[in-house]
Chain A
Amino acid sequence: MDRFITLFASGLSLGAVYALVSLGFVLVFKSTRVLNLAMGEFLMIGTYIGYFLITYLGFHFIPAILIVAAIMGMLGLFVHYGVMRNLVGRPFFAIVLVTIGIAIIIRGVILVVAGPIERPRMKGLSAMPVDVLGAKVEVYNFIILGSALALVLGFYLFFRLSRLGLHMRAVAENLQASSAMGISPDRIYALAWFISLAMAGAGGVFFGHYTASIDLNLAAIGIRAAPAAIVGGLDSIEGAIVGGLVVGTLEQLGAGYFGADYRDVIPFLILTIMLYVKPAGLFGSPELVRI
């Protein structure tokens, strides 16, 4: 039972990171129909910048997250205006391949700048164990879960209540009608990229506290978050959160009980089952097929 609680708690915090990453996925997909397979690499940039800020420069956790999110958001604007804007209307596989190209560039640049060596995890958060129902759980798990959920909730309120959020929903629902009403889709796309990469950056800083070591294998989390997005539904914000938590928890429990080799397999097993049973996901809208 103790083991279960420990695994469950760390699974929830892993799931919170997944939720952030798959929220980034979903947000960009919902508004621009681009499946961003470079999400893990973007998260990795966030981790490395966060590592530099926290471990080398001694920043506190919260300002570090804000700085990383701001830098990554700017990078998102650059990705949109520099690359993605030229690709509107191309077949989707070409666009997916462009994100793969971006992922490869990021890997190369990080290898040159930071080198292939493994680094220890960040220590911006307290690792003091707390007693939960008799099991010891490190306190950073709760901080990660809490702050990730706060970020997600903040975004959700923005998306539902603010005027810009309304514009985003309008563009996602009907591109022509919304641009006829005076909303600039280009700026909404840029905003989606900004928020998506800022989320990835924040997720990267969280994950840097959670992971065993910081190296290029971090980027695999972007691929493993794809199942989270599918489980929730590729075009559903609520689904991304639920999917992230479900996949993260199941993965952590599975890896804990069966062995670390199962870690990569479990999310994709969930993905495969989900695609067979309900391809649209738990909260997603089913795709209409044109003959």
Chain B
Amino acid sequence: MASEKFITEYRQDMRIIRTRPQRVWAIIIAVGLIGLPFLLTNGWSPPANLPWGAWMTVINLSLTAIIGAAAFNLLVGNTGQVSLAHAGLLIFGTIVSGWFGPVLGWNFWLVLPISLLLGALAGLVIALPALRLKGLYLLLATLGIYYFGYFVYKAFLIANVGFQPIIFQIPRVPGWFPWLNDGDTGLAVSNNFRWYWVIMPITALSLLFMSNIIRTSEGRAFAAVKARDTASSLVGVSPVKSKLLVFMVTSAFVSMSGALQSYFLSARGEDSYPFQITLDYAIMIVLGGFSSILGAVFGALFFYGGPVWIDWIRQETPVLRDITFLTSYRSEINLAVFGLLIVVVLVRSPEGLSGAWKRLKAYFAKWPYSL
């Protein structure tokens, strides 16, 4: 009898869920994802005044950001194409959805796939420098894309809504199902609870798509391009094709995440996209961990959830609560804490939160023989 689970076929080795504990985890996560919003919105009162009310917004925001962060991780971590273009692509997604949505009045459910497709086209254009440059020079070349995008965004705002923010209308679920009805035909996706059921499936499908890409021959080609692109062309991988493809896929997802975020936040103005956005996504994937989808999930949750959590600690700790300095500069201090965390994480444990999670799992798997 086998003392452990052995992998005897390549098909087994390539599955997303390979072992029994992973299957258990997948079920727990699925149940948690479905149960979570009911728990958070039904006035359940947890111990120690944890601000549950605030979490719903945080979760929705991080779910939209997870798409962008996972795409960024696929691009930088798995394919080694160091690009800072994602802030520009979020702006691109906002422009596309703003043009088709509020300006032309198309339906949200149509605008979202359009932003995905046009994002892929934009990715083709952004990939052009990647064909010629790599490493550091690619990073510098993509740095400008934010500024080009912001320039167009400003012109777009002034041409269409003047100096106000652009308002995205509340999307409605079509009235096909009698139980999804709020008086009018269909259901307005108007609160956090309803948004969760729109955003969560989109995020889950996007993550599934991206983790499937990594398992295909294209995904292995990405890894070969990351390792050494000139050498990979000698063994039959086409670096040009791989680079174009990875930029197309990731740009499409980032653009869609921008569109989704715009609709969720409903108003996007001139100051919605500061240069800081470029850095925010870098924070997410660094803290979460490079080259893993799980890292993007951890990173985005930590990025949006961290401030709420830090606020909670500050309010509940007796000594810290009385220091007015900490309360009046809370967002500034959060910013500095994030910067400090990046430096500490990169210097001390480069795999980030997902690496720490893996170490924790290894510890329990090997117990009592672990360190």
Q: Give A residues with C-beta under 8 Å from B.
A: 35, 83, 86-87, 90, 92-94, 96-98, 100-109, 111-112, 220, 223, 226-227, 230, 234, 261-262, 264-265, 268-269, 271-272, 275-276, 279, 289, 291
CB of B335 within 8 A of CB of A104, answer yes
A144 and B185 alpha carbons, distance in the complex (Å): 67
Query: Which residue of B82, B132, B340 contacts A279 across the interface (Cβ within 8 Å)?
Result: B132
A105 and B340 alpha carbons, distance in the complex (Å): 6
Q: In the complex, which residue of chain A has the Cβ closest to the Cβ of B139?
A: A96
**Chain A, interface SS category:** helix
Q: List, in ascending order, chain B residues with CB within 8 A of A103's CB.
A: 279, 339
Q: In the complex, which residue of chain B has the Cβ closest to the Cβ of A33?
A: B136
16 example contacts (A-B, Cβ-Cβ < 8 A) are as follows A35-B136, A35-B139, A87-B347, A97-B286, A97-B342, A105-B343, A108-B336, A111-B335, A223-B143, A261-B151, A264-B147, A268-B148, A269-B144, A276-B129, A276-B132, A279-B133
CB of B139 within 8 A of CB of A104, answer no
Q: List, in ascending order, chain B residues with CB within 8 A of A223's CB.
A: 143, 275
Q: In the complex, which residue of chain B has the Cβ closest to the Cβ of A108?
A: B336
CB of A90 within 8 A of CB of B148, answer no
A8 and B295 alpha carbons, distance in the complex (Å): 49
Also in contact, A264 and B347, with CB within 8 A (given A97-B342, A104-B279, A108-B339): no
Q: List, in ascending order, chain A residues with CB within 8 A of B333's CB.
A: 108, 112
Q: List, in ascending order, chain A residues with CB within 8 A of B133's CB.
A: 275, 279
A265 and B153 alpha carbons, distance in the complex (Å): 13
Q: List, in ascending order, chain A residues with CB within 8 A of B347's CB.
A: 83, 86-87, 98
Q: List, in ascending order, chain B residues with CB within 8 A of A262's CB.
A: 151
A103 and B346 alpha carbons, distance in the complex (Å): 14
A249 and B161 alpha carbons, distance in the complex (Å): 34
Other than the known A264-B151, A272-B129, what 8 A-B pairs have Cβ atoms closer than 8 Å?
A94-B346, A97-B346, A103-B339, A105-B343, A107-B335, A230-B137, A261-B154, A275-B132
CB of B143 within 8 A of CB of A268, answer yes
Q: List, in ascending order, chain B residues with CB within 8 A of A83's CB.
A: 343, 347
Q: List, in ascending order, chain A residues with CB within 8 A of B150's CB.
A: 264
Q: In the complex, which residue of chain A has the Cβ closest to the Cβ of B230?
A: A291
Let me know if B364 is at the binding interface, CB within 8 A. Answer: no
Q: List, in ascending order, chain A residues with CB within 8 A of B147's CB.
A: 264-265, 268
CB of B339 within 8 A of CB of A289, answer no
CB of B339 within 8 A of CB of A226, answer no
CB of B343 within 8 A of CB of A102, answer yes
A107 and B335 alpha carbons, distance in the complex (Å): 8
In the assembled complex, the CB of A244 is this many whole angstroms from the nearest CB of chain B, namely: 16
Let me know if B228 is at the binding interface, CB within 8 A. Answer: yes
Also in contact, A104 and B144, with CB within 8 A (given A97-B282, A223-B275, A291-B230): no
CB of B343 within 8 A of CB of A92, answer no
Let me know if B141 is at the binding interface, CB within 8 A. Answer: yes
A94 and B286 alpha carbons, distance in the complex (Å): 8
Let me know if B273 is at the binding interface, CB within 8 A. Answer: no
Q: In the complex, which residue of chain B has the Cβ closest to the Cβ of A219?
A: B275
CB of B286 within 8 A of CB of A112, answer no
Also in contact, A226 and B154, with CB within 8 A (given A101-B346, A112-B333, A291-B228): no
In the assembled complex, the CB of B207 is this many whole angstroms from the nearest CB of chain A, namely: 23
What is the interface residue range for chain B against chain A?
A: 35 or more
Let me know if B140 is at the binding interface, CB within 8 A. Answer: yes
Let me know if B10 is at the binding interface, CB within 8 A. Answer: no
In the assembled complex, the CB of B330 is this many whole angstroms from the nearest CB of chain A, namely: 10
Q: In the complex, which residue of chain B has the Cβ closest to the Cβ of A276?
A: B132
In the assembled complex, the CB of A83 is this many whole angstroms from the nearest CB of chain B, namely: 6
Chain B 330-352, CB-CB to A under 8 Å as 1, else 0, gives 00111111111111001100100
Let me know if B121 is at the binding interface, CB within 8 A. Answer: no
CB of A275 within 8 A of CB of B141, answer yes
CB of A265 within 8 A of CB of B338, answer no
Let me know if B308 is at the binding interface, CB within 8 A. Answer: no
Q: List, in ascending order, chain B residues with CB within 8 A of A96's CB.
A: 82, 136, 139
Q: In the complex, which residue of chain B has the Cβ closest to the Cβ of A229?
A: B140
Q: List, in ascending order, chain B residues with CB within 8 A of A97's CB.
A: 282, 286, 342, 346
Q: In the complex, which residue of chain A has the Cβ closest to the Cβ of B286?
A: A97
A193 and B342 alpha carbons, distance in the complex (Å): 21
Q: List, in ascending order, chain B residues with CB within 8 A of A265's CB.
A: 147-148, 151
CB of A90 within 8 A of CB of B350, answer yes
CB of B340 within 8 A of CB of A101, answer yes
In the assembled complex, the CB of B22 is this many whole angstroms from the nearest CB of chain A, namely: 29
A188 and B80 alpha carbons, distance in the complex (Å): 30
CB of A93 within 8 A of CB of B336, answer no
Q: List, in ascending order, chain A residues with CB within 8 A of B129's CB.
A: 272, 275-276
Let me know if B176 is at the binding interface, CB within 8 A. Answer: no
CB of B339 within 8 A of CB of A111, answer no
Q: List, in ascending order, chain A residues with CB within 8 A of B343's CB.
A: 83, 98, 101-102, 105
In the assembled complex, the CB of A139 is this many whole angstroms from the nearest CB of chain B, namely: 32
Interface centre among A96, A97, A271, A291 (most CB of B within 10 A): A97
In the assembled complex, the CB of B91 is this many whole angstroms from the nearest CB of chain A, namely: 13
A256 and B26 alpha carbons, distance in the complex (Å): 59
Query: Which residue of A100, A105, A227, A279 contacts B336 across the interface (Cβ within 8 Å)?
Result: A105
CB of B329 within 8 A of CB of A112, answer yes
